[in-house]
Structure 1
Amino acid sequence: MARSTRRTFLTGSMAAIGAGFAIGGTKASGRILGANDTINLAVAGLNGRGGAHVGEFSGMEGVRITHLVDPDIRTFDKRVKQVSDRSGNSPKTVQDIRQVLDDPDVHAVSIATPNHWHSLMAVWACQAGKDVYVEKPCSHNIHEGRVAVEAARKYDRIVQHGTQSRSSRSWAELAELSRSGKYGPLLVSRALCYKPRNSIGFKPTGPAPSEVDFSLWLGPAQDHPFHENLVHYNWHWFWDFGNGDIGNQGVHQMDIARWMIPGPTYPTRVVSLGGRFGYEDQGETPNTQITVMDYGDTQLVFEVRGLETGEYRGEKVGNILHFEEGTVAGGKFYPKGSDEAEPLVEVEVERGPGDGHFGNFIAAVRSRKKEDLNAEILEGHVSSALCHLANLSYRVGEPRSFDTVDEALGTDDVARETVGRMCEHLKDDNGLSLDGMQYRLGRNLRFDGDAERFINDPQADELLSRDYRAPFVVPETLA
């Protein structure tokens, strides 16, 4: 990757707002926000999750949404009305986040843009002295997620990741229960993302609508022709902008699956397989995917199903824990060899301050303690990185005939059972004949978690970052 495309781009206004802000205040105010001071906040990205951000923050006492940001001005009227109806004020509307970052009266930025903008916008906001709530996944690739963590540390910012389950007491209790060993060692931490996704068809390329600044929408990505499968939601299924469903809905379940595993942060190995089955369309990411990660004594297994499917152990989008002494599913414990559920053992846990996940962010903005956050950016970075690891294995893999799928993941019983159920799902739930069909078998990658690099795999290392389009460049590192 050419270094010229990944250099820090901090000229003009961005250079002026790079650092030197007072903790909890702005360069202009130079003061710490008190418990009764109003937090001025901008929401960037107004479709989808952006509506939830607007709804949450506009209903909070002591928080004022002062700016709404989106390259598509067609999104403005609805969100301005939403803010006005809930809080009585009318926020400013801008297309370019840099106009907001130049404003010393804005204290925080809430990011609900497409994935490829998440890290860069978070880094810019930290450099501008703003605190950040950034949606999941916090990154489009592993490199830029690490830079977002560096920015939070270097500029002493409060940065919350949008994995809301971290603010759930019941999931925190289950994580503590897993660490306690009361059910024996955790053998498999399984995550499911069974969420039907229909074909997106094919949209012709052409000029972008006059209301959309498409170059701004592209941001860090390389130039692409406009088509309506990008703006808005279906960008999730294109590699240059999204990360498939494992990095969309699935990052929530990935975060929980990792949270439940005592010990190491990263796996030592990862392998993924799957494909885009059941239809042909413009999308690139798999709608069916199985990933196995090696955590030593524990396996993390992730299943994505984007076609019609039944439940597995009563779950479609959720997590299942396989302990030595039994299985936890649906908030209940099933002893080994029994179908009779038992209540979970009770444990004590603490969660951070504030009401809900967004309230937890605001509470931490006031306390200036990153330890108060339930999903601090480092946790978000690692869980997002696991989604990227899965996709990296898949992308550097090769097509194989379904005749070979039984041997795809070796002799591991858990992996073979999971792949067998995937094949049954394709055949029985969706009427697909696997004869003559191909799937993609990812490479079995070894990963050095300390260095966040692969071991002896330059091709996979290339996908740890991307070629950025100036001036929307995530730097190599923060000087």
Structure 2
Amino acid sequence: MTRVSRRRFLQTSLATAATVTIAGTKSSARVMGANDRIRIAVAGLNGRGESHVGAYLGMKNVEIAYLVDPDKRTYQKRLDQIARKERPAAPCIQDVRKALEDKDLNAVSIATPNHWHALMTIWACEAGKDVYVEKPCSHNIHEGRIAVEMARKHKRVVQHGTQNRSSQGWADLAALAKSGKLGKLLVSRGLCYKDGGTGGSTRGDIGTKPTKAPPADLDFNIWLGPAQEQPYHENLVHYRWHWFWAFGNGDAGNQGVHEMDKARWLIPGATWPKSVISFGGRYANNDQAETPNALVSVFDYGETQLIFETRGLKSPAFRGQTVGNILHFEEGVVAGAKFYPKGKDEGQPIPKVVSDVKLGGDHFTNFIDCVRSRDTAKLHADIEVGHVSAGLCHLGNISYRLGKASSYEPKLGKIAGNESGTDALERMAEHLKDSGIKFDGQNFFAGRKLDFDAKTETFSKDSEANALLTRKYRAPFTVPDKV
């Protein structure tokens, strides 16, 4: 195979929606042995980037070949991390496309902001590289589907960073739900109650930062990537980009995607819901951020409702859980590794059902094992699994974004599906009241009820909602319309 030059790669970027042909790796089509060295680029060096680097440093015959981040200020701490393990220093680069030119690079491990996840996955697949991509694997549903199709077309191993998919305990709980031992599963609930406090990586009031010139060490053009050009301010770099629609997906698509993934996994056979509706708002003293920090989303799966609750202010636990999952069965409730029979307050051991699926081990190790074997069936969290679970976060957000300021009424929860929706709304209102927040008809948003077509991954007869399934991309950082 011939190696494509950097100049040609840039000229034939996805901005034209044309197919980019890049030389595959030496091992792209063959099974690799335990002694074959896997060379990997880690992209995104803050936050989860530290975990990515640490995971690969602990593996035999895995080399960190590149450290990638548009912010040069992130390099030294990762270089120090590598040096402590007495490993060779990796080249530090700002643009992942330079690493993708390397025909001997095997994989890319992505821990960038959300808006880069899908595009970088797509580029890596086209370049013949395997991918570990952090949650959520997409910033919107369209690009998630394109990432899935690119992985299939180029026969790439793509693992999604929802690590609970490597847990035997969660697999066994899914088997219990499927077994019917506790009757029908009525509600699969995910909770993301995280108190952000004030300052730092807050989920509360982040204030307003003035626009200014980007730091000299930050290539802000690359950081923006697929997002439309806009001024730099210090509420973006680093972390608080999560609370802006152009880059993040709120806490539902941040911490919450883990609990969303489990909530869906625990509903037997669940993929996309029939419909979604969300309620909530942003309660943060009119700060600069855009995403809600209190949100209830209800997804209709027929006889089971998936209810997801996001809170970013100090909140009491619900059934002993703050960040976790609760299962409401006909015979009782499973919460916090205990079963509470209907009408009883004392917890009992959860009935034991062992899944036919045998999991366990480290999520990163599972990825590297599959890179070596080329057996994507053994991935614990294949890209399509990630696409649907991340997509649920997007669906809930779309309903909210199309909502209207409304007078708060608990009965709105019944519109969402059943009494459990009403209960979730009432508890959210009580939580906000305890935080000194009153609904005034302007700060409570009732989302639009949206019917979803699983086959086409579009909303039924709702052009406004369908417009939010994708975004306007900025050349040359463009996701194609189709594969």
Q: How high is the TM-score relative to the length of structure 1?
A: 0.93
Give 2:315's aligned amino acid.
T
> Does the CA-based 8 Å contact 1:221-1:469 persist in structure 2?
yes
Q: Distance in 1 between matches of 2:10 and 2:452?
A: 32
Structure 2 match to 1:39: 38
- 1:334 counterpart (340, 353, 370): 340
Aligned with 1:314 (options 302, 308, 320): 320
Q: 1:466, CA displacement in angstroms?
A: 0.4
**Structure 1 residue 18 corresponds to structure 2 residue 17:** no
Q: Distance in 2 between matches of 1:354 and 1:302?
A: 26
Asked whether 1:214 is paired with 2:217, we answer no
Shift of 1:19: 5.3
Aligned to 1:359: 365
Identity over aligned residues, as a percent? 57
- CA drift at 1:113: 0.3
Partner residue of 1:105?
104
Contact in 1 for aligned 2:31/2:373 (Cα 8 Å): no
Give the aligned residue type for 1:216: I
**Residue among 259, 268, 271 paired with 1:265:** 271
Deviations 1:161-204 (CA, angstroms, capped at 9, x unpaired)? 00001011111110111111111110000000000123111100
Q: For residue 240 of structure 1, what is the aligned residue in structure 2? A: 246
Q: Which moved more, 1:229-238 or 1:270-279?
A: 270-279
* In structure 1, distance between residues paired with 2:458 and 2:13: 34
Deviation at 1:352, TM superposition (A): 6.2
Deviation at 1:278, TM superposition (A): 4.2
Retained in 1: the 8 A contact 2:107–2:131?
A: yes
Q: Which moved more, 1:146-155 or 1:75-84?
A: 75-84
CA distance in 2, matches of 1:284, 1:16: 35
Deviations 1:23-72 (A, max 9, x none): x715xxx7542221111000000011111111111111121101000000
The whole-number CA distance in structure 1 between the counterparts of 2:306 and 2:351 is: 23
Q: Which residue of 2 aligns with 1:415?
A: 421
Question: What SS does the corresponding residue of 1:289 show, helix, strand or coil?
Answer: strand
SS in 2 for 1:71: coil
- In structure 1, C-alpha distance between the alignment counterparts of 2:188 and 2:361, rounded to whole Å: 29
**For the structure 1 residues 437 and 287, does the alpha-carbon distance in structure 2 shift closer, same or farther, using more than 3 Å as the test?**
same
CA contact (8 A) 2:42 2:68 kept: yes
Question: 1:266–1:472: structure 2 CA closer, same or farther, 3 Å change rule?
Answer: same
| SS, match of residue 121 in structure 1 | helix
Contact 1:351 1:374 in 2 (8 A): no
CA–CA distance in structure 2, aligned partners of residues 352 and 127 of structure 1: 32
Aligned to 2:80: 81
User: Matched residue pairs, number?
Assistant: 464
2:444 match: secondary structure? strand
CA gap 1:262/1:16 in 2 versus in 1, 3 angstroms: closer
Tell me, yes or no, if structure 1 residue 63 matches structure 2 residue 65: no
Q: Which residue of 1 aligns with 2:194?
A: 195
Contact 1:408 1:441 in 2 (8 A): no
Equivalent residue for 2:5?
none
Please name the residue that 2:200 is paired with: none
**Residues in 1 aligned to 2:413 and 2:183: alpha-carbon distance in whole angstroms:** 30
Q: Tell me which amino acid in the other structure corresponds to 1:99.
A: K
Task: Give, in whole Å, the separation in 2 of the partners of 1:187 and 1:122.
Answer: 36
In structure 1, what is the equivalent of residue 470 of structure 2? Answer: 465
Q: Which residue of 2 aligns with 1:431?
A: 436
Amino acid at match of 1:190: R
- Mapped pair 1:454 → 2:459: yes
Partners of 2:389 and 2:147 in 1: how far apart? 14
TM-aligned CA deviation for residue 343 of structure 1? 1.0
Aligned counterparts of 1:267 and 1:412: Cα–Cα separation in 2: 15
Q: Deviations over 1:262-304 (max 9, x none)?
A: 1331110100010011422110000000000100010000001
Question: What code does the residue aligned with 2:452 have?
Answer: F
Q: Which amino acid aligns with 1:438?
A: N
Indicate the residue corresponding to 2:4 in structure 1. none
Cα distance, 1:354–1:290 mapped onto 2, change above 3 Å: closer
Q: Which residue of 436, 447, 450 corresponds with 1:442?
A: 447
Contact 1:189 1:257 in 2 (8 A): yes
Contact kept, 8 Å, 2:340 with 2:347, in 1: the verdict is: yes
Aligned equivalents of 1:425, 1:63: Cα separation in 2: 47
Alignment correspondent of 2:123 = 124
Alignment CA distance shift 1:11-1:354 (3 Å):
farther
In structure 2, list runs of 5 or more residues that go unmatched: 1-8, 196-202
Question: What is the identity, as a one-letter code, of the residue corresponding to 2:90?
Answer: P
Q: Structure 1 unaligned segments of length 5 or more: list them.
A: 1-8
Q: Alpha-carbon deviations, 1:100-144, whole Å to 9, x = none?
A: 000011101000000000000000000001000000000000000
Contact 1:17 1:102 in 2 (8 A): no
Say which is worse superposed, 55-64 or 346-355, in terms of deviation. Answer: 346-355
Post-superposition offset of 1:339: 1.1
Partner in structure 1 of residue 48 of structure 2: 49
Q: Distance in 2 between matches of 1:78 and 1:21?
A: 31
Taking the aligned partners of 1:351 and 1:70, their CA distance within structure 2 comes to: 37
SS in 2 for 1:386: helix
**Equivalent position of 1:4 in the other structure:** none
Secondary structure of the structure 2 residue equivalent to 1:438:
coil
2:396 to 386, 390, 398: 390
Alpha-carbon distance in structure 2 between the residues aligned to 1:473 and 1:401: 40
Deviations 1:341-373 (CA, angstroms, capped at 9, x unpaired): 111122223556783111110111111111111
Partners of 1:406 and 1:420 within 8 A in 2: no
CA contact 1:354–1:361 (8 Å) conserved in 2: no
Deviation at 1:477, TM superposition (A): 1.0
Q: Which secondary structure state, in structure 2, belongs to the residue aligned with residue 301 of structure 1? A: strand
Question: In the alignment, is residue 289 of structure 1 matched against residue 295 of structure 2?
Answer: yes
Deviation at 1:436, TM superposition (A): 5.3
- Aligned AA (1:299): Q
CA distance in 2, matches of 1:464, 1:10: 27
Q: Is the CA contact (8 Å cut-off) linking 2:119 and 2:147 kept in structure 1?
A: yes
Deviation at 1:88, TM superposition (A): 1.6
Normalised by the length of structure 2, the TM-score is 0.93
* Residue pair 2:413, 2:423 contacting (<8 A) in 1 also: no
Report the residue type matching 1:363 in the other structure. D
